[in-house]
Chains A and B, each alone.
Chain A
Amino acid sequence: MERFPDTIDGIDRAIFLPLDGKKALWGERNSMSDKCITKVLIVGGGTAGWMTAAALSETLKGLALDIRLVESEAIGTVGVGESTIPHIRHFNTRLGINEADFLSRTQATFKLGIEFRDWGRLGDSYIHPFGAYGADPAAHEVELFHHLWTRAGAPESLEAWSLPVAMARRERFTHPSTDPASPLSGFSYAYQFDASLYAAYLRRYSEARGVVRTEGRIADVALHGETGFVTHVTLESGERIDADLVIDCSGFRGLVIEQAMKTGYHDWTRWLPCDRAVALPCEHGGLFPPATRATALKAGWAWRIPLQHRVGNGHVYCSAFLDDDAAETALMDQLEGAALAPPNRLRFLTGKRKLQWNRNCVAIGLASGFLEPLESTSIHLIQAAIGYLLDLFPTGDWDPSDAAEFNQTMDMEYERIRDFLVLHYHATTRDDSEFWNHCRTMTIPDSLAWKMELFRERGVVAAYEHGVFLHPSWVAVYVGQHVTPRRWDPRLDDLDPAAVRADLEGQRRRIAGLAERQPRHADVLGAARAAVMAEARA
């Protein structure tokens, strides 16, 4: 789980053995019986399919698995620009991917947070940063910072005390320091990249590690008469592919998990009513912040994801309040440069599959459920599922407690992200459209209602360990959308407000000065490109 400051859990004491080019010296195999998983079938390419293929082929390379991926070029992937959260770096690190190489091959940019415009009310702008507030990352009781800020009378926007925000606003970027005493250690970062280039990158990576790709469409999924397990699939070409474990990355339709297995779906549109999107890339208008932008519109919101070579744009909206043509017009009206492709229209249903692991099928990506990309969680959900699948990789006798654990954990991931997204829609004073009137007044999940009440009443962020968004993220959105605590922590009552204000002012200046001294985001990317080219020449 993500923790600030920027450390990758346990990496300092983890052992990484070089495995390349070695064959396992087989000892006695795990199982007393011969029930072993040997054939893994991944249904569908795209981001989910190739991330899964890459992770399995690298992590399980000593198991001599037969990993096949079936995809059809006739079925397009969504492939728009994609924005991520810092966890993606753990994924890349685990695959041994070099950052500079990755940046150049996927046209990626750095990301320090998301700017939310017009959400709490028209004219607002706040950034949800990847980092805690305050100038001293090593400070005790860092969770009290926003109370101090309240205590000082909220002298200006809370984000003035966030180094990643200060850098993002200035279009600057630097890598966080690994020295916990450094003022540059209290934040983390992610990437924005071209998802189809990333999938292509991981395809090369996977194929080099023995994954066999088969071009074709699946005509039939055969289930075992008694157990209901998938035994094989048949392609339109007539080819039959046997499988012990099937990973369904076929997108919304869930070719195996839903169409063959009828797993069922929990519909969450009563809380997250947007059900369509239109997306297209355009030429760069010149702004280069290390941040994604999400602008609230009349019946949804628009994203802006700056890549190196172009800008990804999209409009997520609710068809009950806005028709497709009007949505497309709204998007086209705000493009900063010439469109580089025709608009791509998408439909979806927010929610999740009732079981993400059903019998011998594990659904990953859109086949497992959909949450709109407002907080850039799509790739994270893929990554989380892959991580739990590896943690619980089936043993051949399909212990039901493994699937139960997987489903329980993924349900929790989904529900906590859902609540965090609902917060963005619900915590608003906007009354300029029916859509916002609906969101502002709808009944929200109980699991969110008490969290909001606790923050409003006390400034306390409800405690839990798991769940991708931790303390600083909730504070950023609450405060950014005017869920203002009625009181500060009583431990601060003995502080002199003037002294607190002076201290905060000093911190604010230090942060601003520090941000000002960091290199420009575009220059950091340029240096990475130059390094890759120099290496290529050498």
Chain B
Amino acid sequence: MIQPDLIRNVVIVGGGTAGWMAAAALSRLIANGVTSVTLVESDTIGTVGVGEATIPPIRTFNEMLGLDERAFLQATRGSYKLAIEFVDWTRPGHTYQHPFGPFGADINAVKFHQFWLKMHREGRAAEFGDYNLCGVAARLNRFGALPPQHRSPLTPMSWAYHFDAARYARFLRDHAETRGVVRQEGKVVSVEQRPEDGFIDAIVLDDGRRVEGELFIDCTGFRGLLIEQALKAGFEDWSHWLPCDRAVAVQCLNDNAISPFTRSTAREAGWQWRIPLQHRVGTGYVYSSAHISDDQAADTVMANLDGKPVTDPRILSFRAGRRRKAWVKNCVALGLASGFLEPLESTSIHLIQAGITKLLALFPHRGFDPVAIDEYNRLTNVQIEQIRDFIILHYHANERTGLDLWDHVRTMAIPDSLQHKLDLFRGAGRFFRHEDELFAESSWMAVLIGQNVMPQRYDPLVDSIPEADVARAMEELRTTIRAAAESLPDHADFLARHCAAPEPESVPA
């Protein structure tokens, strides 16, 4: 018995990371014997395809597909990631980390950071980052899995990856095609909608082929060929909070260690990423075109490379914001077609993944009941707004005075939802995670404390515990973490032993 109104054909428009992630995940539907999945892409439309950094939930996605971690890292020339290092964000010369996993451990049900705030004020605390295992391991360039330990202040390691996004798409394409996804080469020239209700019937390709579908997934990037150009979903512009609108990207050789962390360095009119892969480093400058020219931005990147460049600098344009509705009628937008947030916290791939997971949980039938569509859009909107606030925080909490862009973002009005969080934290270091917010308390603490947002006071409950006991517990945590991190192998050695790419990358002379 099969449910009678199953979707019979799903058409994914656009390859790239979003398209092939969707194809790989939706390929499981084909096994029902009714649903087909087609992906239409054109080799003439390039994908962005720079190195890409991720956050730990990517592991859940890969596990759902049944991917082997080491095969995946081999195929994508990937490396492990334990943290993001933020250089010069707080003020020039300052560095902090946003590592994965918790800081310290709560003491008598009071948050660890509250004790740190007190001991820091008294000059008796080490750096906040010294109490985070992933952060300490990252600074030592170590990586490995610690065995789970019962009743230990050490939680299991948490990690994500850096990889070549174009190779990831290729890897997922093999996975999807093996499971019956059909790829069609072609450029979309028009979209046909049913006159009575505006649902999309078919897309027409440049050679006249017509591809019919009951559900369309728009993975066409910024332009949103279906969701915007055909269905007019509308776009909510957030550039007043996030003014960066361009990026210049380049890849180079790596003369340095393969660090298990992403680096983000604040620059005059934005910031530069550094993503170390096995064979090269992806880098780029995200900037505000109102504050610097494209040439100046490219010059800045080229002056800050780890090694010889292997590609020419490429300029990309974008606008921060989100599609007002990511799901309209029978079209669901994923990836850049659904909205854009700069990759400061490596959330681009996560937003694709979260969209796919929600789509699977709310997968439509031919009736397209509105309650499921509304729930999808509600969850999508909440999530992207929460991430937006977290990214705005990085810009807003800066002491980089005398630079136009940085003066602007420091003094601008911020969203109420972020203002409330900041007020609570500035009072007595309080923080509450709302709904199913992606970034947990430890992430907010990393950035708030890292960017010197210091509360006026700490939680009054902290004083209920003898200071000598707190000092002892904190010191024990710090040394335990340090010893655990030092017991791990070197990251590059670990990669070479377990996940090395089969053949060396050929490098153009």
Contacts and interface: CB of A to CB of B under 8 A. Distances in A.
Interface of A: 10, 12-17, 19, 22-32, 36-37, 59-63, 94, 390-396, 399, 401-402, 404-405, 409, 450, 453-454, 457-458, 460, 462-466, 487-491, 493-494, 497
18 contacts: A12-B151, A13-B151, A15-B105, A17-B108, A24-B465, A25-B466, A30-B118, A60-B461, A63-B463, A393-B459, A401-B424, A401-B430, A405-B420, A454-B375, A457-B369, A460-B372, A487-B3, A490-B32
B145 interface: no
Interface residues of B, number: 65
Contacts of A454: 371-372, 375
A148 B466 CA distance: 54
A398 B7 CA distance: 57
B468 interface: yes
A31 B457 contact: yes
Given A13-B102, A14-B109, A62-B465, A393 B420 contact: no
Nearest to B430: A392
A401 to B, nearest CB: 4
A62 B28 contact: no
Given A30-B458, A460-B361, A17 B469 contact: yes
Contact of A28 (B122, B461, B468): B122
B6 A490 contact: yes
Contact of B462 (A30, A391, A488, A491): A30
Contact of A404 (B32, B102, B360, B420): B420
B362 A460 contact: yes
Contacts of B461: 59-60, 63, 390, 393
A24 B108 CA distance: 14
Contacts of A458: 362, 369, 371-372
A59 B365 contact: no
B465 A19 contact: yes
Contacts of B435: 464-466
Contacts of A16: 107-108
A15 B372 contact: no
- Please list the 6 inter-chain residue pairs (A to B) with the smallest Cβ-Cβ separation, ordered nearest first: A62-B464, A494-B31, A493-B32, A399-B427, A401-B423, A494-B32
Contact of A490 (B3, B102, B155, B459): B3
B422 to A, nearest CB: 9
B371 A493 contact: no
B231 to A, nearest CB: 23
Given A13-B105, A458-B372, A463-B436, A59 B360 contact: no
A36 B459 CA distance: 12
B436 A493 contact: no
Given A14-B109, A17-B465, A25-B467, 20 more contacts: A13-B105, A14-B107, A15-B107, A19-B469, A27-B122, A28-B122, A31-B457, A59-B108, A60-B460, A62-B463, A63-B461, A395-B457, A396-B460, A402-B427, A457-B369, A490-B363, A491-B29, A491-B360, A491-B363, A493-B6
B374 interface: yes
B153 interface: yes
A401 B466 CA distance: 28
Given A14-B109, A457-B372, A458-B362, A493 B3 contact: yes
B106 A27 contact: no
B1 interface: yes
Contact of A13 (B31, B152, B363, B468): B152
A399 B3 contact: no
Interface of B: 1-3, 6-7, 28-29, 31-35, 102, 105-109, 118, 121-122, 150-155, 360-363, 365, 369, 371-372, 374-375, 379, 420, 423-424, 427-428, 430, 432-437, 457-470, 473
Contacts of B371: 450, 453-454, 457-458
Nearest to B121: A28
- Secondary structure of the B contact surface, majority rule: loop
Contacts of B361: 460, 489
Contacts of A391: 430, 432
Contacts of B29: 490-491, 493-494
A24 B465 CA distance: 6
B369 A24 contact: no
Nearest to B436: A465
Contacts of B375: 450, 454, 460, 462
Contacts of B457: 30-32, 395
B467 A494 contact: no
Nearest to B5: A487
A93 B119 CA distance: 28
A489 B374 CA distance: 18
B106 to A, nearest CB: 5
A19 B469 CA distance: 9
Nearest to A393: B460
Contacts of A465: 433, 435-437
Contacts of A19: 108, 464-466, 469
B430 A402 contact: yes
Contacts of A13: 102, 105-106, 151-155
Contacts of B108: 15-17, 19, 59
A409 B460 contact: no
Contacts of B118: 27, 30
A16 B436 CA distance: 28
B441 to A, nearest CB: 11
Nearest to A496: B1
B276 to A, nearest CB: 30
Specify which of A13, A16, A450 lies most central, judged by the most chain B CB atoms within 10 Å of its CB: A13
Nearest to B462: A30
Contacts of A466: 434-435
Contacts of A31: 457
B464 A59 contact: yes
Contacts of A453: 371
Contact of A489 (B150, B363, B369): B363
Contacts of A457: 369, 371-372
B428 A399 contact: yes
Contacts of B437: 465
A491 B30 CA distance: 10
B131 to A, nearest CB: 12
B420 A22 contact: no
Contacts of A396: 460
B206 to A, nearest CB: 32
B107 A27 contact: no
Contacts of B107: 14-17
Contacts of A488: 3
Specify which of A19, A61, A405, A462 lies most central, judged by the most chain B CB atoms within 10 Å of its CB: A405
A487 B365 contact: yes
B424 A405 contact: yes
Contacts of A464: 435-436
Given A457-B372, A490-B365, A491-B360, A26 B467 contact: yes
A412 to B, nearest CB: 9
A59 B460 CA distance: 11
Nearest to B63: A140
A94 B459 contact: no
Contact of A395 (B2, B122, B372, B428): B428
Nearest to A90: B109
Nearest to B111: A391
Contacts of B459: 393
Contacts of A10: 106
Contacts of B121: 28
Contacts of A60: 460-461, 464
A28 B118 CA distance: 9
A129 B451 CA distance: 46
Nearest to A457: B369
A36 B109 CA distance: 21
A7 to B, nearest CB: 12
Contacts of B469: 17, 19, 22
Nearest to B31: A494
Nearest to A487: B3
B463 A402 contact: no
Contacts of B7: 490
A396 to B, nearest CB: 8
